[in-house]
Amino acid sequence: MKQLEKNRTMELDTFQKIAEHEQVMFCNDPKTGLQAIIAIHDTTLGPALGGTRMYPYATVDDALEDVLRLSAGMTSKCAAADVDFGGGKAVIIGDPKKDKSPAMFRAFGQFVDSLNGRFYTGTDMGTTMDDFVHALKETNFVNGVPEAFGGSGDSSVPTAQGVIYGLEATNQYLYGNDSLAEKTYAVQGLGKVGFKVSEHLLKSGANLYVTDINTASIEAINEKAKEMGSIVNVVDSEDIYNVDADVFVPCAMGGVINDQTISQLKVKAVVGSANNQLQADSHAQDLLDRGILFAPDYIVNAGGLIQVADELYGPNHERVLLKTKAIYDSLLEIYEQANLDCVTTVEAANQKCQKRLTEEQNRNNFFVRTRRPKWNIKE
């Protein structure tokens, strides 16, 4: 009976979340085995944009819950990154290691196309650029494809640059000087983003603690440091939280700021690319109580999103980096507003996004935003 009651509550929660969405579409194609859900949360700022995740969800309810949560998050991300897109997301139910086929992604492309430009998508966990090359045969509403197919390529470059701007803004706020030099950073994860960030920090004359569970990445950063006549301090993955550093830079996975890790942190700030760093919303307040400045992850890691959104104007790396630079001012504004209002930086960031959405709702009329996306209007 208890379980039944719990399920009922979950269903009501999900129902409430659906009601907060503009559109939710279930896609079934028995011939290819495609079972997908596309969720469009909010198109106030423009067509919905969000990656397509492929995961072996245990139930359709689990898939639905995930897509609704992720698409709502994209509305805030797009508002924060100042791109002309709204929030959306898609999930494909299946094991990416064995259930994928080119035909499945062509079928998915047809469903995306049927939305006639209300939803743009690309890769996420479990899907690759190659999958979307197949989808591209059926729809133009795809981004993040390889450069050879008209895309803008590796998004970790602007993401890493965004983290660097975030670190500079943090130093500016804390020390009145945005130089990265002579400070100590603890970088967790030396993957596509973390490695580039570490390399930039080394070049800037910073001191580094690093960790990764992949020994090849450790070897690569040691090699890079040697080339530069510098050194990095490598620590075990569980020791990265309590090193004597100024800034913790999480670039591996989510949930790393939690009840176990917060009490270990000696840093003055947390600034990194990992998505959903706080295990629970309340951890933002816990960090504030301990005097640790938190850079909301969706502000800092927006470089990749900026690149994907910018692709529709034609790939241009210079323009993307220029737009990514806005992360510096945006983060500084959030820090200052949070301080003025005595709220967490997460609350200040959310308020900033909500303000942009409200301003656009008041400015736009329905016809313009749904029928004629900006880039189709001939000036």
Q: How far apart are CA 49 and CA 71, in angstroms?
A: 9
Q: Which stretch binds ligand NAD (CB under 6 A): 64-72, 102-110, 172-180, 184-192?
A: 184-192
What are phi and psi for residue 25, nearest 5 degrees? -120, 130
Minimum CB–partner distance for residue 239 and ligand NAD (Å):
10
Of 192 and 356, nearer to ligand NAD (C-beta) is 192
**Which residue minimizes CB distance to ligand NAD?**
191
Burial-class residue 252 by CB neighbours within 10 Å (0-12, 13-18, 19+).
buried
Q: Which stretch binds ligand NAD (CB under 6 A): 6-14, 192-200, 343-351, 367-375?
A: 192-200
Q: How far apart are CA 159 and CA 155, in angstroms?
A: 6
Residues 98-127, interacting with ligand NAD (CB under 6 A): none
198 binds ligand NAD (CB under 6 A): no
Of 115 and 295, nearer to ligand NAD (C-beta) is 295
Q: Are 210 and 248 in contact (CB under 8 A)?
A: no
100 among known catalytic residues: no
Q: How many CA atoms lie within 13 A of 138 on its CB side?
A: 20
Of 143 and 159, nearer to ligand NAD (C-beta) is 159
Alpha-carbon distances, residue 321 vs 30, 210, 289 (angstroms): 43, 26, 34
Q: How far apart are CA 12 and CA 314, in angstroms?
A: 43
Minimum CB–partner distance for residue 209 and ligand NAD (Å):
12
CB atoms within 10 A of CB 91: 29
The single residue listed with the structure tokens 């569980």 is 238
324 binds ligand NAD (CB under 6 A): no
Minimum CB–partner distance for residue 201 and ligand NAD (Å):
15
Chain-centroid distance, C-alpha 123: 12
The residue type at 181? A
Q: Which stretch binds ligand NAD (CB under 6 A): 104-112, 169-177, 251-259, 331-339?
A: 251-259
Read out DSSP for 25-41? EEEEETTTTEEEEEEEE
The residue type at 195? F
Q: Which stretch binds ligand NAD (CB under 6 A): 114-122, 185-193, 312-320, 360-368?
A: 185-193
Q: Are strands 184-188 and 119-120 parallel, antiparallel or unpaired?
A: unpaired
Tell me the three state secondary structure of residue 155.
Answer: coil
Of 206 and 221, nearer to ligand NAD (C-beta) is 221
List 35, 71, 121, 211, residue binding ligand NAD (CB under 6 A): 211
Minimum CB–partner distance for residue 216 and ligand NAD (Å):
9
253 binds ligand NAD (CB under 6 A): yes
Tell me the three state secondary structure of residue 258.
Answer: coil
Of 139 and 159, nearer to ligand NAD (C-beta) is 159
Of 237, 241, 279, 242, residue with least CA distance to 257? 279
CB atoms within 10 A of CB 174: 16
Alpha-carbon distances, residue 3 vs 62, 68, 290 (angstroms): 16, 23, 38
The single residue listed with the structure tokens 């509403």 is 141
List 112, 251, 257, 346, residue binding ligand NAD (CB under 6 A): 251
Of 166 and 189, nearer to ligand NAD (C-beta) is 189
Residues 280-319, interacting with ligand NAD (CB under 6 A): 301, 304
The residue type at 70? L
List 189, 311, 335, 344, residue binding ligand NAD (CB under 6 A): 189
List 159, 171, 207, 345, residue binding ligand NAD (CB under 6 A): 159
234 binds ligand NAD (CB under 6 A): no
260 binds ligand NAD (CB under 6 A): no
How many binding residues for ligand NAD (CB under 6 A)? 24
75 binds ligand NAD (CB under 6 A): no
Catalytic residue among 2, 31, 77, 89: 89
Q: Which stretch binds ligand NAD (CB under 6 A): 64-72, 145-153, 154-162, 319-327?
A: 154-162
The single residue listed with the structure tokens 């804390």 is 174
- Report, as residue numbers or ranges, the catalytic residues: 89
Binding footprint of ligand NAD on the chain (CB under 6 A): 155-156, 159, 188-194, 211-214, 217, 237, 251-253, 273-275, 301, 304
